[in-house]
Amino acid sequence: MHERNEEMKNSLNDLWKRGCDFLGVQHAILGGAMTWVSEPNLVSAISNAGGFGVLACGAMSSDLLVQQIRKTKEMTQKPFGVNLILMHPDIMELASACVKESVTHVFLAGGFPEAKLVDFLKQEKINVIAFAPSLIMAKKLIRMGVDALVIEGMEAGGHIGPVSTTVLAQEILPHIKEVPVFVAGGIDRGEAIASYLKMGAAGCQLGTKFVCAHESQVPANFKRAFLRANARDAVVSTQIDERFPVIPVRGLSNQGTKDFLQCQRQVIEKVDKGELTLKDGQLEIEHYWAGALRKAVVDGDVEHGSLMAGQSVGMVSKEESVGDIIQTLVSEAKASLEVFS
């Protein structure tokens, strides 16, 4: 009987039950919010397959966000969330749009949220999920009242922090029990999901894994770039002047990577000549990535655009349906747990 109880504790359904209940899904597998990529088609496909899709707001206006939420709802009856970037100048309007459209889960990314934003969303009965880059910040976010956390390591694609997923998991998971914690960054296989669940995670978030799904709307040459790439091709952007801090961005190395260095040099030259203020120079550098990402994902310019990708890109070997991706992850996780039960 004791062995049977231990086996039940090690079952996948048991290990991620807290995450599944929090999200309202069959599988506690979240689709990472990727600007221009995590749009209604892909988000709804992830939710329909039993996972939890997350719509990426990015730089959208509140009116466009409303349209995207409604379009997603037309394509799925299952739960999904919305990711808001805290640097957006109209963040409160975007939060209000989520309330208006009865969004159940809002992810706050790209910084530390203001208390008034968290309070506003919670007053409207919305589940608030924030990103914790350290144990200290995780505890502070919990005191603010967030309902769940995501810890994302530097292996991830797009904007990243300085610490690896495995280190963050070891630092945070043993100490945070008050809220569900989801792990992200560099995850491609079910065995990895199982290992983080065993450490105390409520589920895992994957982004790069879904870029080449059939349901993903990115251009065909964008997908081909992913399928050809290996882990070492997913590099972090370089900062060349400490006066202009660059939030590290991981993407596939191409001409666009070199263009970003040239962009920085040009801004530095303008500032040194007095043609730009430091603040305007910083904004010009930050705006580079938004334009470069659109150039790649929307216009299909994979040479000069930004191909944001995590280091797990080397394990993306074929284009397949979202349903097949999730079922494979679940099968791998179950098989892994059976070996050690």
DSSP 11-55: SHHHHTHHHHHHHTSSS-EEEP--TTTS-HHHHHHHHHTTSBEEE
pLDDT greater than 70 at residue 340: no
Calculate the alpha carbon distances from 164 to 32, 152, 179, 310 in Å.
17, 8, 21, 12
Closest CA to 14 of 1, 23, 5: 5
Q: Which domain holds residue 263?
A: 230-308
Same domain, 76 and 159: yes
Inside any domain, residue 196: yes
pLDDT at 5 over 80: no
Domain count, the chain: 2
Residue 225 lies in a domain: no
Give the contacts of 191 (CB within 8 A, at least 6 positions apart): 332, 333, 335, 336
Which CB contacts under 8 angstroms, 24+ apart, belong to 334-339?
334/12, 334/190, 334/194, 335/190, 335/191, 336/190, 336/191, 336/194, 336/195, 337/10, 337/11, 337/12, 337/15, 337/194, 337/198
Question: Do 235 and 121 share a structural domain?
Answer: no
- Summary mean pLDDT of the chain: 94
Are 335 and 250 part of one and the same domain? no
The reply to whether 264 and 164 lie within a common domain is no
How confident is the model over 31-55, as a mean pLDDT?
Answer: 97
289 in a domain, yes or no? yes
Shared domain check, 75 and 176: yes
Residues 173 and 282 in one domain: no
The type of residue at 290 is: A
> Does residue 9 surpass a pLDDT of 50?
yes
> By the 8 A CB rule, do 52 and 25 touch?
yes
Q: Is the domain of 208 the same as that of 325?
A: yes
116 and 62, same structural domain? Answer: yes
Q: Are residues 291 and 268 in the same domain?
A: yes
- What pTM value is reported for the model? 0.93
Helix/strand/coil for 234: strand
Q: Which of 117, 96, 97 is nearest to 108 (CA)?
A: 117
- Residue 112 is classified by DSSP as P
Question: Does the residue 188 lie in any domain?
Answer: yes
24: alpha, beta or left? (left if phi > 0; alpha if psi -120 to 50): left
Can you tell me the distance from the alpha carbon of 249 to that of 113, in angstroms, rounded to the nearest whole number?
Answer: 20
What per-residue confidence (pLDDT) applies to 311? 98
Residues present in the chain in total: 341
Question: Are residues 62 and 88 located together in one domain of the fold?
Answer: yes
Is 324 among the domain residues?
Answer: yes
Specify if 223 maps to a domain: no
**Among candidates 255, 267, 256, which has minimal Cα distance to 291?**
256
Q: Which residues pair with 151 in a beta bridge?
A: 183
CATH of the domain at 336: 3.20.20.70
pLDDT interval class at 248 (50, 70, 90): confident
pLDDT confidence of residue 4: 45
Query: Residues 240-250: what's their mean pLDDT?
Result: 86
Q: Examine the domain organization and report whether 282 and 333 are in the same domain.
A: no
pLDDT band at 168 (very low <50, low <70, confident <90, very high): very high
* % the chain with pLDDT above 70: 97
CB 81 within 8 A of CB 106: yes
> What does the pLDDT look like over 308-331, one tens digit per residue?
999 999 999 999 999 999 999 999
How far, CA to CA in Å, does 223 sit from each of 49, 206, 215, 295?
A: 21, 16, 12, 14
Q: How does residue 291 score in pLDDT terms, banded at 50, 70 and 90? A: confident
Q: Is residue 222 part of a domain?
A: no
How many beta carbons lie within 10 A of that of residue 34, not counting itself? 26
Check if the beta carbon of residue 127 is closer than 8 Å to that of residue 107: no
Residues 117, 98 share a domain:
yes
Is residue 108 in a domain?
A: yes
User: Per-residue confidence at 280, pLDDT binned at 50, 70, 90?
Assistant: confident
